[in-house]
Structure 1
């Protein structure tokens, strides 16, 4: 699968920050995440290479005549002719030193952005110095150059100094840093491809989270699995899970900016609550892309891009997987016999195309999450193992709000959103509000509620603020709530 990573690296528009004065070290890198006839989807990834936090940002660029932005997310967009201006949303304006944020947009037409600026300076960090500040005489790259120091030959310490930044540029260095991570620490990835098994069992705390961060061009690849694993997945000597990144008993982490690709599963969280995944790119996985599992509650995945899942098992190619199927409670039911990956928020992501199962699969036994502001592209959904909708709500009390979903061939598509009642008392109390659905002339309903009789005291609710086009049947199969 090495060719996929090479292709990704070639496709990325990499921005460096050769001038320290440029927006305090702030740069913006364009990444085209998907293309289709007549358009493409892209992100700008903003990286703070300076020493002080950036509290607001503005990205501006021009598009050629005949090319336009059709929709955008994680930003506030204004337009004057062919000139576009994006300012931060309320939640992603602050970028810490070494950190990153992103926003995305879909484009109608083939033209690329030109004349890009971030906070008034070139997105690449180059160009003449502002008139009020003299240009420095030296340059400094955003990412550290390859280290001239060989990897350590001694066993890494069992703990690392808290509150430090550990710069890594090789797979061995990353493995050592994950094994020794401590609360308050930041692991900074340099751009490049990291091949191997990447696992941590180190916990952060509510007051001192652990951060793994890097640019989109830092790509984690796991060519496994290998060896003989236990009956239930757990870190085991001599066994490689094949997961691109695995957090096991590792709460309070931030995972930001980097890419996971060409692995059996993308990012897997086991008993790792309060983890925030922000601005990552996960693609070309054999099974699912991101899995909150084994009661990994109170997590967030936002501003991220997921494409090309289910390469080996299309029916298990979920984009974001919340909880576990009842049949797997024996392994992952560590909270009263169930997998209580509750209250996970899925916010402002772009999921698809070529996500072969549900874009968000909400499993029975979970409760209280939010699915908001996402863009779902159903092209390539397989229909295998009931993977025939953007979101399947088998849990309780989820708010599904402000999402945009589309479907176009090829693919097997039944409904935009579905509910199922696989566990008594679950698949109930979910709310749909303000979603926009284009079913491509194939899907029956934007929201299909499989049963009302199984949720008499806690019904599913579909509000009139939802809209649908190109549906075989209509908005929903239940009464609409104003």
Structure 2
């Protein structure tokens, strides 16, 4: 959701310290006494700069002797400059005046501790007229040194960072955005039930030993009402642009996503340059284009136990249920492995895909190898026929095992064959569409489809043939099981 620029710099561009007048005075007959109180100050810094904008944030420190109960930072931006996105806060805006209130996790700042929030800006203008809790940026106020009559010292906390710890519980969109932006290896982000509307993206990586988990119940629903802003030439997280993706992992390997729902977005879940992603038990439905896309060499990933329905609501020809890799025409953007999108060894296991998947329930693109598609149930109702979408699976990859799946077709829809392969020419050269194996699949073609398994070219795969085993079965086919000899 924000852009990391090579022009990143750590120096503060504004050394001004903002002080909140937060000292309460008790007037009693026994003489004046100063109550313990928070004393907030905040410091602005740019964190990155790029052509047409920058990233920045404020750090809020409590220099008093009592915890704050919340904070509000306000400032103005000049005409032509605007905040395009923010995190770890709740933003409101009136014209060029911006107000940022603490998120649920960072409003209480203990004495000596800090909290921060960040934002991306379109334009070059810097904040002016800053206040914190209504007090103007007047230069740092004095550190509170109120005498105390208690023998218990203040807590020895030194910082209150953004979401941290082994478990981060979130219940609002702002909290989820902050958790994704600050995720750390080994962390578990847990969604409460509810609807989360916004742009949800992470660029934080887990590790093999410490993957990052995002989980929630099925009634924790992520919705992205985008896209908005000017898109870059190739889709990468960019300031001022909302992709419209329901959930986007970008250069964020070793994540596990489980349980929750993504719907009403341009695309469902997009996994870019994020190998070793596990998607388990999610629901994706009612999306404009494809539901789950493993893209930019997101190899060794798994999609399992999930339910996908109602895709391609706006662009039926791009409404795949599961999309592995990229068409070679898009390798200029997504071909990050020697010019190829190598989404290799991806497993698609035990999912229910359909009905009303407008394109193929699974589209296996050229340049990918060694995947496993097993135990899935395909409901072909609603396949559109657009952009050659007329089968449950179209395999252009190499060396896939497709086994123990169950597919059915019934109207409405356009249906040619249960499973198809195609031999797409690419550079560099691959044996695209070759070396794939079908076994144990059950197909009901509804009296419409020709073959359960249609092999488009035998000669092109002479050195690495496709194999259809006799364990596959078919009913209600107009032609039969397959158009090539069956292997016992």
Write the deviation string for residues 139-174 of structure 1: whole angstroms up to 9, x where unpaired: xxxxxxxxx984646317997545x10000000000
CA-atom RMSD in angstroms? 1.5
In the alignment, the residues of structure 1 paired with residue 163 and residue 433 of structure 2 have an alpha-carbon distance, to the nearest angstrom, of 44
Using a 3 Å threshold, how does the CA distance of structure 1 residues 334 and 158 change in structure 2: closer, same or farther?
farther
In the alignment, the residues of structure 2 paired with residue 334 and residue 195 of structure 1 have an alpha-carbon distance, to the nearest angstrom, of 31
Q: What is residue 173 of structure 2 aligned with on the other side? A: 171
CA contact 1:151–1:172 (8 Å) conserved in 2:
no
Task: Confirm or deny that 1:478 pairs with 2:480.
Answer: no
In the alignment, the residues of structure 2 paired with residue 439 and residue 210 of structure 1 have an alpha-carbon distance, to the nearest angstrom, of 41
CA contact 1:243–1:268 (8 Å) conserved in 2:
yes
Question: In terms of Rg, which structure is larger?
Answer: 2
CA contact 1:159–1:181 (8 Å) conserved in 2:
no
Write the deviation string for residues 18-38 of structure 1: whole angstroms up to 9, x where unpaired: xxxxxxxxxxxxxxxxxxxxx
Which of 314, 322, 335 lines up with 1:333 in the alignment?
A: 335
Using a 3 Å threshold, how does the CA distance of structure 1 residues 155 and 467 change in structure 2: closer, same or farther?
same
In the alignment, the residues of structure 2 paired with residue 370 and residue 418 of structure 1 have an alpha-carbon distance, to the nearest angstrom, of 16
Q: What is residue 431 of structure 2 aligned with on the other side? A: 425
Which stretch has the larger CA shift, 421-430 or 411-420?
A: 421-430
CA contact 1:315–1:385 (8 Å) conserved in 2:
yes
Task: Confirm or deny that 1:460 pairs with 2:466.
Answer: yes
In the alignment, the residues of structure 2 paired with residue 403 and residue 314 of structure 1 have an alpha-carbon distance, to the nearest angstrom, of 24
Using a 3 Å threshold, how does the CA distance of structure 1 residues 158 and 412 change in structure 2: closer, same or farther?
farther
In the alignment, the residues of structure 1 paired with residue 103 and residue 337 of structure 2 have an alpha-carbon distance, to the nearest angstrom, of 46
In the alignment, the residues of structure 2 paired with residue 465 and residue 412 of structure 1 have an alpha-carbon distance, to the nearest angstrom, of 27
Which of 237, 259, 262 lines up with 2:261 in the alignment?
A: 259
Q: What is residue 188 of structure 1 aligned with on the other side? A: 190
In the alignment, the residues of structure 2 paired with residue 280 and residue 356 of structure 1 have an alpha-carbon distance, to the nearest angstrom, of 19
Write the deviation string for residues 289-325 of structure 1: whole angstroms up to 9, x where unpaired: 0000000000000000000000000000000000000
Q: What is residue 290 of structure 2 aligned with on the other side? A: 288
1:425 deviates by 1.4
Which of 214, 220, 223 lines up with 1:221 in the alignment?
A: 223
Q: Secondary structure at the match of 1:285?
A: coil
Task: Confirm or deny that 1:451 pairs with 2:457.
Answer: yes
Runs of at least 5 residues in structure 1 that lack an aligned partner in the other structure: 1-147
User: What does 1:42-53 correspond to in 2, within 5 Å?
Assistant: none
Q: What is residue 300 of structure 2 aligned with on the other side? A: 298
Which of 436, 442, 452 lines up with 1:436 in the alignment?
A: 442
Using a 3 Å threshold, how does the CA distance of structure 1 residues 239 and 466 change in structure 2: closer, same or farther?
same
In the alignment, the residues of structure 2 paired with residue 149 and residue 309 of structure 1 have an alpha-carbon distance, to the nearest angstrom, of 34
CA contact 2:163–2:178 (8 Å) conserved in 1:
no
1:228 deviates by 0.3
Q: What is residue 210 of structure 2 aligned with on the other side? A: 208
In the alignment, the residues of structure 2 paired with residue 149 and residue 281 of structure 1 have an alpha-carbon distance, to the nearest angstrom, of 28
Which stretch has the larger CA shift, 421-430 or 280-289?
A: 421-430
TM-score, normalised relative to structure 1:
0.68
CA contact 1:158–1:179 (8 Å) conserved in 2:
no
Q: Secondary structure at the match of 2:178?
A: helix
Runs of at least 5 residues in structure 2 that lack an aligned partner in the other structure: 1-101, 108-115, 119-159
CA contact 1:323–1:340 (8 Å) conserved in 2:
yes
Aligned length: 334
CA contact 2:417–2:454 (8 Å) conserved in 1:
yes
Write the deviation string for residues 47-82 of structure 1: whole angstroms up to 9, x where unpaired: xxxxxxxxxxxxxxxxxxxxxxxxxxxxxxxxxxxx
In the alignment, the residues of structure 1 paired with residue 185 and residue 162 of structure 2 have an alpha-carbon distance, to the nearest angstrom, of 10
Runs (4+) off by over 3 Å: 148-154, 156-162
In the alignment, the residues of structure 2 paired with residue 201 and residue 311 of structure 1 have an alpha-carbon distance, to the nearest angstrom, of 28
Q: What is residue 380 of structure 1 aligned with on the other side? A: 382
